[in-house]
Structure 1
Amino acid sequence: MLPARRRRAGTPVTTATRAVAGLVVPAGLVTACAVLPVAAPSPAPSPTPTVLNGPKPTSFAYLRAPRNVGRGDSLIASQRTLVTQLDIPWGVTFLPDGSALVTERAKRRILRVGPGRAASGELTVRPLTSIEGVYANNEGGLLGIAASPRFARDRTVFIYYTTKLDNRIARLRLVGPRPEPEAIVTGIPLAGVHNGGRLAFGPDGYLYASTGDASRAGASQNVANLGGKILRMTTAGRPPPGNPFPGSLVWSYGHRNPEGMAWDASGRMYVAEIGEAMWDELNLIQPGRNYGWPKVQGMGRMAGMTNPLAVWRPEVGVTNGIVVLGHAALITCLRGQRIYLVDLGRPIDFASTRIVGAGTGEASIRWRPAAGVLGRPLAALVGKYGRLRAAIRAPDGSVWLTTSNRDGRNQPVADDDRIIRLTLSPAALPGAVGDAGGTPGPTPSQMPSQMPSPTPSPMPSPMPSPMPSPMSR
C-alpha cells in the first residue's frame, strides 16, 4: 500500500516511474491507434455481445492512421474560436433556436451566446441573468446548466451551484426580468474543491448530476451521502423509477470528482473523473456500481469495485469534460492542457482482465481493450488553448470547448476565456445528432409513466492492478 499523497487539482506533482508487473504492451499500440476495422458496440454491456461488422465513420480506426502517429491533431478537421474574453465559462447548454446558455463560475452570470454574430465574426454574447446566493469559493460557484428537453414550452433550465451551506440543483424559469431559482436538490456537500457540478439530460429523459466528494473521501462510499456520486432524478428532484437504491437519487457511487458526462448511441453513459495523485479516469457508468474511491484509484483488484476503461496521469490530464460522437470520445484536460481522442470501437466484454499501457512515469496511459477502448488515447491541441474544461456537442454536430485560464491556475492571455468550435475527421454521419452526449433524448412526456428497472448486467471481474490498490491523492 502506498502512503497517501495529496495535491490540489492544479498543483504539479512528480511521480516516480514504477515497474509494472504483468503489463501487456503489444507492438504498435504504444504510439498509435490500431488500424484494423472495428465492430460497433452491442446495444448493452454483455459478456457475449452482438457484433456488427464494419468500421463506423466516427471511429478513429476508420482513418487508418499511420503507426507513427503519436498525437491526434490530424484527426481534427477544423477549429475556430467563437467567443473571447469570458470569465471561467463552466457549463454550456443549447436552446432550440441554436443559441447557447453559458455559466460563468465566479461572476455568477448566465450568458446567452449566439445565434447571431458580431461584426468581428464572433458570436454575440449578452448577459441573461445572475444568480443570487451563489458562493464562488475557489472551485465552487455557478457550475452546470442543462436546458429542459421541453424548453420551447416551459422556458426552464436547471443549474448546479454552490452556496455557503451546500451545493444544490435548482430549476430556473427564464421569464420576467429577474428569474429566481427554485431548489429541487439541496444538501450536496461543498468545499473549496471537489464540488462536481455537471448537469445533463440522459437519453431516458431524466436529469443526471455529477457530485464531488468535497474533500471528504469517506462520503463517496456512503450511499446515504450525496457526495462523490452520479445522481439521477426527475425534473422535480425526486428519484425516478429504476434507480438502484430505493428512494435515493444515487445512480452510482465511489467517485472522487466527476465533472464530465456523455452517452453513446446505445445509451451507455461515460463519465470523465478527476482522480488523485496517481490516475484520472474514463468510466463506463452502470447503475448501482461502486467505482472505488477512495479505496481504489485507477485499475484495481478489489472485489466489488468497478474498474475504469482508461486512465492517465494527472500531469497529462486532470480530466474534465467529455463528448461521445459515434465511436469517438473527446475528453478535455485542465492541467494537461489538451484533449484526448479515444476510440470506443469495440464491443464490451467485462470478463477480460487485460490491461494495455503506454508511456512511463508522468506520461503513463493505460486502457482495457476488451472493455471498449480500441487503442491508446491520442492527445491533441496540447498547450494550444491552455486549460480546457467543458465539452458539449452542438446541434450542428460540432463540439464546443471552453477554456478555464482565468481560474487562478494559469496565465491568461487577452482573449481568455474562450469558446472553441471543433469538428473531427471524419465527421459524424448526417442525422446522427441524436446519438451523442449532450443531445437531449426523449422528453419526459415521451417516456412511459413507469420505467422498467435497469436490466442487471454482469459485474466486471476485478482487474489485477499494476499499482497497489488503496491510493489517495
Structure 2
Amino acid sequence: MPKSVVSLWLLVSACTTSPSHSQSWDFELRVVARGLQVPWSVLWGPDGWLWCTERPGRISRIHPETGEKRILLSAIEGVYARGEAGLLGMALHPRFTDSPFVAVAYTVYSGFVELRIVRYRYDASRDTLLDPQILLANIRVGNIHAGCRFLNLPDGTLLLSVGEGGIPALAQDLSSLSGKVLRIHWDGKVPADNPIPGSFVWAWGLRNSQGLALGRGGLIYGSEHGATTDDEINLLQPGRNYGWPSVEGYCDTPPEEQFCRDSNVVEPLYAWTPTVAPCGLAYYDSALTHLPQFRHSLLLATLKGSTLYQLRLSQDGGRIEEVNAYPLGLGRLRDVLVTPDGRVFVSTSNRDGRGAPQPDDDKIVELVPKNQGIEDTEERSLLRLWCQERQLWVEARAPVTVRVITVCGHVLVEWRGLPQQRWSLQSLAAGWYGVIAWDGVRREFSPIVVP
C-alpha cells in the first residue's frame, strides 16, 4: 500500500504574520490507516505494531508502515456504544512477553451506564484476545463523561481515569469511583499503598479526564474537559483533590479560594477558556530526536479546532512554559501516541456523532520529518496559495472541491473548480483559517492567517 502524504505549511509572506503561539511546521502527515470508526486508544505494541480500540467494540493491530489491519476482536459482547460511551481506553501489560495481558475499558447497560475494566490474554499463535476477566465493574458513568484512559506506572500498577457520568457531585464522593483517577494492580486488587486504604481511588475532583501521560522523573500529567470554561492540564498526585465541581480552572474566585484551602485542591498547570476539548496526552522525552522540536513537551490531541498542542515544560516538569498550536486540518483529534523511538501518531474522531466525517474517516496519521525519506509533495499538491498586492489567492491545480473553514471547523465557503481556476480570500476577517482541497481521493489542508 503506497504511503499517503499530506504536506502542511504556513503561508508566511507580506500578507501575514504568524502569532507567537504558532511554530514553523517541520513535519508532514502520512496517513497510516483509513476507514476506522472512532479509534479511541492507540498504543505501540512490543511487536512494533499499533494496537487500537474502536469505540463500537473492535480491537485491532495495525502495521505502522503498510496500514495492514489484523482484527483481534471484531466485537465485544454487550458493549454499549452511545453518546460518548463504548469501547474506550486500552493498556498492554508492561512485561507483555511474559504476561501477555491487555486491559480495556468499555461501557455496558445494566439499568444504568456502567464502566467495566476487563483484562484479556493475547494468544500470539491465533492472533486474538481470549479469557476475559472483569477487574472492575459497576462504575457509574453515563452517555457522557465516561473517561477512560489508562497509564502504566513504573511500579507495575495501572492508573485509569473515570468521568463523573454527568453527575458532578460524584467527583467529590470518595465512596464512588466516578470522577476519579484510580490505581489498580493488573490482577484487579487494590494496591496496599493507595492513599485511601482499601480503595482504588488515587485522586479525585475530576469531571472527565481523557488523557494521562508519564513524564520525566515519574511526574504524571492529565488532561481534563471543563464544562463551558477552563479545560485543564493537571499535574496529578496521589491523595489530592482537583476541585470539580466546586472549582473550575484556577482558585480565582472567593468561593473557590475557600474550597481550595479547605480541600487541599491542586490548581492546574494550564487552563483554556474558550475550551479546546482536550483528549489524548503523551510526553515527548528530551532524549528523543525524531521530531526534536517536541523535546521535553506534552503533546495534546483536542476535539476542537483540529489542533495538536505542544506544551513545553520547565526543566523540572512542574510548569508549562510555552504553548504551541498545530491545526492539522483533520477534524476532531482523539489520541496521540509517542513511540519509544520518538515517532508520533494521531487518531481522528470524526465519526463519533459530533464531527463532519470525510469518506475515508476515521484515520491514524503519523507526523514525519519533512524531506526525510518522504517524497516532496509540492509538485503534486492540489492547490497553490499565494499573496499578491496584500491579497490572498487560491488556485486549483486539479479538479477539486475547496472549503475554507474556521479554526473550529465551521465551513465558511465551498468552491468547485478546474485546474487554473482562482479564488480570492480578501473577504475574510482577520484570524486563523484552514483551506481544504479534496479531489475524491486525496485531501490537503493549508492553515493560513489573515492579518
Q: How does 1:195-210 map to 2 (within 5 A)?
A: 195-210=146-161
Which deviates the most, 244-253 or 393-402? 393-402
1:116 offset after TM fit, Å?
A: 5.8
Partner of 1:144: 89
- Are 2:162 and 2:209, in contact at CA under 8 Å, matched by a contact in 1? yes
Percentage identity across paired residues of the two chains: 37
- Aligned partner of 1:164 among 102, 105, 109: 109
1:155 offset after TM fit, Å?
A: 2.2
- Are 1:262 and 1:270, in contact at CA under 8 Å, matched by a contact in 2? yes
Pair 76,234 (structure 1): closer, same or farther in 2 beyond 3 Å: farther
1:396 offset after TM fit, Å?
A: 2.9
Q: How does 1:70-81 map to 2 (within 5 A)?
A: 70-74=20-24, 76-81=26-31
Pair 424,178 (structure 1): closer, same or farther in 2 beyond 3 Å: closer
- Aligned partner of 1:308 among 248, 264, 268: 268
Partner of 2:356: 411
Which deviates the most, 279-288 or 386-395? 386-395
Partner of 1:34: none
Which deviates the most, 262-271 or 178-187? 178-187
Task: List gaps (5 residues or longer) in structure 2.
Answer: 1-16, 252-256, 286-295, 373-451
Task: Output the amino acid matched with 1:333.
Answer: T
- Are 1:283 and 1:307, in contact at CA under 8 Å, matched by a contact in 2? yes
- Are 1:196 and 1:212, in contact at CA under 8 Å, matched by a contact in 2? yes
- Is the aligned partner of 1:88 residue 2:33? no
Task: Output the amino acid matched with 1:373.
Answer: I
- Is the aligned partner of 1:294 residue 2:245? yes
Task: List gaps (5 residues or longer) in structure 1.
Answer: 1-66, 118-122, 349-370, 428-473
SS in 1 for 2:341: coil
- Are 2:180 and 2:203, in contact at CA under 8 Å, matched by a contact in 1? yes
- Is the aligned partner of 1:321 residue 2:265? no
Q: How does 1:349-364 map to 2 (within 5 A)?
A: none
Counterpart-to-counterpart distance in 2, 1:76 and 1:418: 21
Task: Output the amino acid matched with 1:328.
Answer: S
- Aligned partner of 2:176 among 225, 234, 243: 225
Pair 240,95 (structure 1): closer, same or farther in 2 beyond 3 Å: same
Alignment root-mean-square deviation, CA: 2.1
Partner of 2:167: 216
Partner of 1:284: 235
- Aligned partner of 1:128 among 72, 94, 97: 72
Higher relative contact order structure (alpha carbons within 8 Å, sequence separation ≥ 6): 1
TM-score, length-scaled by structure 1: 0.66
Counterpart-to-counterpart distance in 2, 1:265 and 1:178: 33
Counterpart-to-counterpart distance in 2, 1:187 and 1:240: 19
SS in 2 for 1:154: coil
Partner of 1:450: none
Counterpart-to-counterpart distance in 2, 1:419 and 1:314: 27
Counterpart-to-counterpart distance in 2, 1:248 and 1:75: 46
Counterpart-to-counterpart distance in 1, 2:183 and 2:248: 24
- Is the aligned partner of 1:342 residue 2:311? yes
Partner of 2:396: none
SS in 2 for 1:220: helix
- Are 1:243 and 1:250, in contact at CA under 8 Å, matched by a contact in 2? yes
1:72 offset after TM fit, Å?
A: 3.5
Listed one character per residue, the Cα deviations across residues 338-397 of structure 1 (whole Å, up to 9, x for unaligned) are 11111112436xxxxxxxxxxxxxxxxxxxxxx51113x121125x11100111212331
- Are 2:87 and 2:105, in contact at CA under 8 Å, matched by a contact in 1? yes
1:78 offset after TM fit, Å?
A: 3.8
- Are 1:318 and 1:336, in contact at CA under 8 Å, matched by a contact in 2? no
Partner of 2:335: 390
1:424 offset after TM fit, Å?
A: 7.6
Counterpart-to-counterpart distance in 1, 2:315 and 2:362: 36
- Are 1:220 and 1:229, in contact at CA under 8 Å, matched by a contact in 2? yes
Task: Output the amino acid matched with 2:312.
Answer: D
Counterpart-to-counterpart distance in 1, 2:55 and 2:26: 29
Partner of 1:37: none
Which deviates the most, 76-85 or 128-137? 76-85
Pair 109,313 (structure 1): closer, same or farther in 2 beyond 3 Å: same
1:178 offset after TM fit, Å?
A: 6.5
Bigger radius of gyration, 1 or 2?
2
Task: Output the amino acid matched with 1:372.
Answer: R
- Are 1:92 and 1:146, in contact at CA under 8 Å, matched by a contact in 2? no
Listed one character per residue, the Cα deviations across residues 32-87 of structure 1 (whole Å, up to 9, x for unaligned) are xxxxxxxxxxxxxxxxxxxxxxxxxxxxxxxxxxx964343525434322111111
Partner of 2:291: none
- Aligned partner of 1:97 among 28, 47, 64: 47
Partner of 1:154: 99
- Are 1:332 and 1:340, in contact at CA under 8 Å, matched by a contact in 2? yes
1:203 offset after TM fit, Å?
A: 2.3
Pair 295,128 (structure 1): closer, same or farther in 2 beyond 3 Å: same
Counterpart-to-counterpart distance in 2, 1:103 and 1:307: 32
1:113 offset after TM fit, Å?
A: 0.4
Structure with greater strand share of residues:
2
Partner of 1:422: 367
Task: Output the amino acid matched with 1:173.
Answer: R
Task: Output the amino acid matched with 2:283.
Answer: V
Pair 147,291 (structure 1): closer, same or farther in 2 beyond 3 Å: same
- Aligned partner of 1:174 among 89, 110, 122: 122
TM-score, length-scaled by structure 2: 0.69
1:192 offset after TM fit, Å?
A: 0.5
- Are 1:314 and 1:335, in contact at CA under 8 Å, matched by a contact in 2? no
1:314 offset after TM fit, Å?
A: 4.5
Task: Output the amino acid matched with 1:82.
Answer: V
Counterpart-to-counterpart distance in 2, 1:200 and 1:131: 22
Q: How does 1:192-271 map to 2 (within 5 A)?
A: 192-271=143-222
User: Which 4+ residue blocks in structure 1 deviate beyond 4 angstroms?
Assistant: none
Partner of 1:62: none
Counterpart-to-counterpart distance in 2, 1:284 and 1:237: 25
Task: Output the amino acid matched with 1:112.
Answer: R
SS in 2 for 1:288: coil
